[in-house]
Amino acid sequence: MTTQNEAANEASDEEGVAVRLRDWIGGHREELLADLAAYVSLETPSNDKALLDAGLHWLDGWLEARIGPPAATFRMDGGAHGGAGGRGEPAVYGDARVNDYPGRGEAPVLLLAHYDTVWPAGTLAGWPFTVDGDLATGPGAFDMKAGLVQLVWALRALDAACLPRPPVRLLLNGDEEIGSPLSRPLIEESARSAAAVLVFEASADGMLKTARKGVGIFHLSITGVEAHAGLEPDKGASAIDELARAVRHLHDLADPDAGTTLNVGVVSGGTGSNVVAGAAHAEVDVRVASQAEAGRIGAALATLRPHDGRASFEVRGGWNRPVMERGPGTARLFALAREVAAEMGVELRECAVGGASDGNFAAALGVPVLDGLGAVGEGAHARHEYVSVAGMLERSALTAGLLHALAVR
């Protein structure tokens, strides 16, 4: 039990904590940057299991060297899993690693960071890690390798300052960029017992993300009746005509004021201009800002019917990630982060974004989630992606201060 004097001393010690953490991290700028260089120089594309394994092996050694061995660890194998790879072949995903580190309190804070990137093997040959003044660039630097480096140095700073933090559970997954099909159950299981979830995806123009849209990926297949377009057009039922009608209907379902967008991004069909098309296909991306809108769109897709009764529709796919709504717990978490930032003279802002992350899974369970704690920079999934080195130092200090505040308040 903490005595009154101990509580008073602890409160006194809190003055200037964020600044002290920032100064300590700033004094290790070159080491932090060297860690980012080494990490970015490891290619970890989502679709290359061998490179993902090599990347995770490096991360295991680096984490132990930087913050010590975990109290407990678990590795989920990303090997063959059913026929989810398409065309019946087994799917292969990057492994997931869960490390537990002790701290003050009972419930852990879950820290989410993915180590896979969208960049294919060989990208580094034409785009190596480079630093130019305050800007560092390289494949995956912004999304999201800098975020993990910042987190690790935040933990180092707390240890160096002998400051308490909550127990933390670090979850690294290698399938986030393809929707986290393997790691989702592990993320949800880990989140259920967490006091809060911090996601080290990149920031949005420096802002933390307190709300994200839910994402649905749907595949529409239409079967028609083929016929000669000149001799017997009335004997045919055009799948392309049905697709055109369906695309118009789907786009009419969008409600920008409610945060709902639908995009039919890929279409195909038919075999020749003189044949009434017997088949057509479309791929649809849906973004919603509320579960109510997810229900509305889901019902509309389920009730799609052809104009011509001889044709038929099949809708496959589903909601890739649920909506991350800004609940009271997330609001309190952001307010605490804003206090820590203010101690460093930084005005922290928040935003809602259309993209989704693994934080969506945790938020759907009612757990407070703060996302976008990673890099300050620009260009996710683009050749110009970069991070601000000064931003890395600041965000690392913010993370350290936030973790400390979660342990003592």
Amino acid type, 366: G
The single-letter DSSP state of residue 90 is P
Q: What is the CA radius of gyration of the chain?
A: 24
**Which whole number is the average pLDDT over 326-331?**
96
- Model confidence at 90, pLDDT cuts 50, 70, 90, reads low
**Which whole number is the average pLDDT over 38-46?**
98
- Please provide the average confidence, as pLDDT, over all residues in the chain: 94
Instruction: Please report, for the chain, the start and end positions of each structural domain, with discontinuous segments joined by +.
Output: 4-213+324-408, 214-321
In whole angstroms, what separates CA 14 from the centre of its chain?
A: 32
**Which whole number is the average pLDDT over 248-262?**
96
Which residues are CB-contacts of 28 (< 8 A; sequence separation ≥ 6)?
A: 153, 156
- pLDDT for res 15: 65
Which residues are CB-contacts of 356 (< 8 A; sequence separation ≥ 6)?
A: 212, 213, 214, 215, 320, 321, 324
Given a cut of 70, whether residue 347 has pLDDT beyond it is yes
In 68-93, where does DSSP find H-type helix? Answer: none
- pLDDT for res 8: 42
Give the model confidence (pLDDT) of 108-121 as tens digits.
Answer: 999 999 999 999 99
Give the C-alpha separation, 230 to 227, whole Å.
9
Q: What percent of the chain has pLDDT over 70?
A: 94
End-to-end alpha-carbon separation of the chain, Å? 15
The tokens describing 328, both together, are: 């009271």
- pLDDT for res 14: 62
- pLDDT for res 79: 80
- pLDDT for res 6: 47
- Please give the class, per CATH, of domain 214-321: alpha beta
- pLDDT for res 409: 84
Give the C-alpha separation, 20 to 392, whole Å.
16
234 by Cβ neighbours in 10 Å (0-12 / 13-18 / 19+) ranks as exposed
Give the model confidence (pLDDT) of 167-207 as tens digits.
Answer: 999 999 999 999 999 999 999 999 999 999 999 999 999 99
The CATH fold of domain 4-213+324-408: Aminopeptidase (3.40.630)
Q: What is the bridge-based pairing of β-strands 377-378 and 386-388?
A: antiparallel
Q: What percent of the chain has pLDDT over 90?
A: 91
